[in-house]
Structure 1
Amino acid sequence: MGYKIAVVGATGNVGREMLNILAEREFPADEVVALASRKSLGTEVGYGDKTLITKDLDTFDFTGWDMALFAIGSDATKTYAPKAAKAGCVVIDNSSLYRYDPEVPLIVPEVNPQDVHGYSKKNIIANPNCSTAQMVVALKPLHDRAKIKRVVVSTYQSVSGSGKEAIDELWDQTKAVYNPTADVPPKVYTKQIAFNVIPHIDVFMEDGSTKEEWKMVAETKKIVDPSIKVHATCVRVPVFVGHSEAVNIETEDFLDEDEARDILREAPGIMVVDKREDGGYVTPVECVGDFATFISRIRQDPTIDNGLSFWCVSDNLRKGAALNAVQIAELLGREVLKKG
C-alpha cells in the first residue's frame, strides 16, 4: 500500500515541478491530488503520463491523506497548513512561514535527516530557502571533517525564484532591448533585470542586510550548526533558472583542497565537476533539470590559515524547492510512516 499525496499550489512553477519529480522518482503514491485556488480550478497539470485536474483547495478535506506538499506562499499557507495538519496530514511546506519555528523541523535530507522525527509536534516540516538548501548540502560533509567556523557567500540567483511574473519580466525586457519602441518598466523588481544585476532580494532589514541574506544565516545555523558564522550577499541575476553561489569557508582544522574535493565527490546529492581548464566547471544553464548540486572551482584561500573557496550551482526549482520537498516526503515515509 502506498501513500495518498496532495500537491498544494499545483499550477505554479514549484507545484508543477513537485508533480514532475514525484513521477520521475517513482514515489510510492497510490493517489495524488492537485490542489489550487479557485481561480485555477479545473486547470490541467501533468503527473508522469497522467493528466490531473486541479481541485479547490478551499473546500478540500485532508482527512485520510498522508502528506501534503505546499507551494503556495506564506499567507495562504498560514490558512491551510494548520487545517491539513489538524486533519492528520503531514504538511511539507515550501514557504518561509514555519522555517524559524523551534517546534517545526527544517530539513535537508542529505544534511539533517534525523530531525525529521520532530514533525509530530505540529505535523509540519519546513523546506529551506532555495539558496540555503544547495549551500548546506556542500557545507555538511566539510563541516563533519574540519568544523566550519565561518562562511562568506555571494549568491547569483535566477529570476525563477521570484515566480512566473519575474520570468516574464526578464523575457519581455530582454526583447525590448532590441526594440527601441518598446518600454518594459520593472514591476517585479526595483530595477531593470535584463542585462543587469540587482543586489537586493526580499526586504531590507535594520542592519543593512536583506531578509534573503538573513534567511541564509538563520537557516544554516538551524540545519547544520548554530555555532557557524555566516555572512551573505544575495544578488538577482538575469538567468531564468539555476542559482549560483561563490562560497568561502574558514575551518577549525586544516583541510587540503584535494581532500575537500574527494570528500565532496563522495557526499550525497553532490556532483563535483572541477577541471582547471576552459569550461571545466558547471554553470546554471547546465544544471537545469538535474537533481544534483554541482561543485566546481575548489581551491585553497591563502589569505587565512584554514580557508577554502568553491563554486556551487543547482536548479533552484528542484533542489532549492520541489526536489527537497519530495526528498523530505521520501524520508518521512521511509523513517516514520513506513507504508508500502
Structure 2
Amino acid sequence: MGYKVVVVGATGNVGREMLNILAERQFPVDEIAALASRKSLGTEVSFGETTLKTKDLDTFDFAGWDIALFAIGSGPTKTYAPKAAAAGCVVIDNSSLYRYEPDIPLVVPEVNPEAVDGYAKRNIIANPNCSTAQMVVALKPLHDRARIKRVVVSTYQSVSGAGKEGMDELWDQTKGMYVPGQEKAPEKFTKQIAFNVIPHIDVFMEDGSTKEEWKMVAETKKIVDPKIKLTATCVRVPVFVGHSEAINIEFEEFLDEDEARDILREAPGVMVVDKREDGGYVTPVECVGDFATFISRVRQDSTIDNGLNLWCVSDNLRKGAALNAVQIAETLGKRCLNKG
C-alpha cells in the first residue's frame, strides 16, 4: 500500500525536481496530484513516464491525501499549508516560513531523522535552506567524532537558488555580452551576475550579515547542535546549478585529515573525491543531477590546534531542496506512517 502525494508548486524548478525524484527513487505512490496557481492551471508536468496536468491550488481539497510537498514560497505557504495540515495531510515545506518555530521539525534525514517524529504537533515538517542542507550532511559525522566548536563557511551559490528568474537573468546577461543590443540590466539581482560574483543573498540585517547567512547559523544550531558557533559569508556566483562551500572547522578534539576522510566516506549521503592532483576534486558542473553531497580538499588547518578545511559541493535543486524533501517523506513513511 502506497501514499497519496501532492506536489504544490509543480511547475517551478523545485516542484518539477520533486516529481522527478519521487519517480527516480520509486517512492510508493498510489495517487499523485500536481498543483499550481490558477495562471498555470492545466500546465503539463512529468512524473516518470506519466504526464500530469496541474490542478488549481486554490480550490484543491487536501482531505484524504497523505503527504504534500510544498515548493511555493513563504507567502502562499502561509495560506495553504495550514489548510492541508488541518485536513490531515502532512506538509513538507521547502520555504523558510516554519524552519525556526520550535514545535516544527527541521530535518535533514542523514543528520537528525528522529526529529521527524515531532511532525504530529502541527502536521508540518520544514526543509532547511539549500546552503545549510549540504553543509550539515558533512558536519554531522565529524561532529559525532570530535565535537565541533566553530565553523567558518564561505558559500558560492548558483543562480538557480534564486529561481527561474535568476537563471534567466544569468543567461540573458551572458548573451548580452556578445550580442549588441541584447544587454540586460540587473533585475533579479542587485548587480550584474554574468562574469561577476555578488556577496549578497537575501536581505541585510542590523548586524551587517544577510538573512541567508543568519539562516545557516540558526539552522545548523537547530539541526546539529545549539553549541556550535558559526559564521558565514554567502555569495552568488555565475553558475546555473550547484552550490559550493569552503568550510573551516575547529574541533574540541584533534581529528586527523585521513581519519576525517575515512569518516566522510562512510557517512550517508556523502561522496569523497579528494585526490591531490589536477582535477582531483568536484566542481558544481559535475554534481548536477546527482543525489550526493561531494567532499574534496580535506586538509589540516595549521593555524589552530584542532582544525580542518574542506570543500563541499552539491546540486542545490536536489539535496538543497527537492531531494531532501523526498527523503523526509521517505523517513516519515518508515518511522511514522507505516504504509509504503
The answer for the alignment partner of 1:313 in structure 2 is 313
Unaligned runs of 5+ in 1: none
| Amino acid of the structure 2 residue aligned with 1:320 | G
Q: Distance in 2 between matches of 1:247 and 1:165?
A: 28
1:47 is displaced (CA, Å) by 0.2
The answer for the alignment partner of 2:119 in structure 1 is 119
**1:31-53: CA deviation from partner (whole Å, max 9, x where unpaired):** 01000000000000000000000
1:288 aligns with 2:288: yes
1:217 aligns with 2:217: yes
**1:113-166: CA deviation from partner (whole Å, max 9, x where unpaired):** 011111111000000000000000000000000000000000000000000011
**1:258-292: CA deviation from partner (whole Å, max 9, x where unpaired):** 00000000000000000000000000000000000
1:180 is displaced (CA, Å) by 3.3
| Amino acid of the structure 2 residue aligned with 1:109 | P
Q: Distance in 2 between matches of 1:26 and 1:183?
A: 44
The answer for the alignment partner of 1:33 in structure 2 is 33
1:321-340 pair list within 5 angstroms: 321-340=321-340
Q: Distance in 1 between matches of 2:15 and 2:326?
A: 11
1:217 is displaced (CA, Å) by 0.1
| Amino acid of the structure 2 residue aligned with 1:71 | A
1:110 aligns with 2:110: yes
The answer for the alignment partner of 1:204 in structure 2 is 204
1:248 aligns with 2:241: no
1:133-152 pair list within 5 angstroms: 133-152=133-152
| Amino acid of the structure 2 residue aligned with 1:322 | A
Q: After the TM superposition, which segments of 4 or more aligned residues of structure 1 sit over 6 Å from their partners?
A: none
The answer for the alignment partner of 2:177 in structure 1 is 177
| Number of corresponding residues | 340
1:335 aligned counterpart, secondary structure = helix
1:46-85 pair list within 5 angstroms: 46-85=46-85
Q: Distance in 2 between matches of 1:123 and 1:78?
A: 14
The answer for the alignment partner of 1:9 in structure 2 is 9
2:217 aligned counterpart, secondary structure = helix
2:278 aligned counterpart, secondary structure = coil
Q: Distance in 2 between matches of 1:179 and 1:332?
A: 51
Q: Distance in 2 between matches of 1:22 and 1:268?
A: 19
2:227 aligned counterpart, secondary structure = coil
1:22 aligns with 2:18: no
| Amino acid of the structure 2 residue aligned with 1:239 | V
RMSD: 0.4
1:271 aligned counterpart, secondary structure = strand
| Amino acid of the structure 2 residue aligned with 1:5 | V
1:100 is displaced (CA, Å) by 0.1
| Amino acid of the structure 1 residue aligned with 2:186 | P
2:39 aligned counterpart, secondary structure = helix
| Amino acid of the structure 2 residue aligned with 1:186 | P
The answer for the alignment partner of 1:45 in structure 2 is 45
The answer for the alignment partner of 1:160 in structure 2 is 160
| Amino acid of the structure 2 residue aligned with 1:324 | N
1:91 aligned counterpart, secondary structure = strand
| Amino acid of the structure 1 residue aligned with 2:261 | R
1:323 aligned counterpart, secondary structure = helix
1:183 is displaced (CA, Å) by 2.0
TM-score normalised by L of structure 1: 1.00
1:179 is displaced (CA, Å) by 2.0
**1:197-256: CA deviation from partner (whole Å, max 9, x where unpaired):** 000000000000000000000000000000000000000000000000000000000000
1:98 aligns with 2:98: yes
1:189 aligns with 2:174: no
1:135 aligned counterpart, secondary structure = helix
| Amino acid of the structure 2 residue aligned with 1:2 | G
Q: Distance in 2 between matches of 1:177 and 1:297?
A: 34
1:262 aligns with 2:234: no
1:182 is displaced (CA, Å) by 2.5
1:82 is displaced (CA, Å) by 0.1
Q: Distance in 1 between matches of 2:8 and 2:338?
A: 23
TM-score normalised by L of structure 2: 1.00
Q: Distance in 1 between matches of 2:179 and 2:233?
A: 33
* Identity rate, percent: 84
The answer for the alignment partner of 1:304 in structure 2 is 304
Q: Distance in 1 between matches of 2:11 and 2:42?
A: 10
Q: Distance in 1 between matches of 2:138 and 2:32?
A: 32
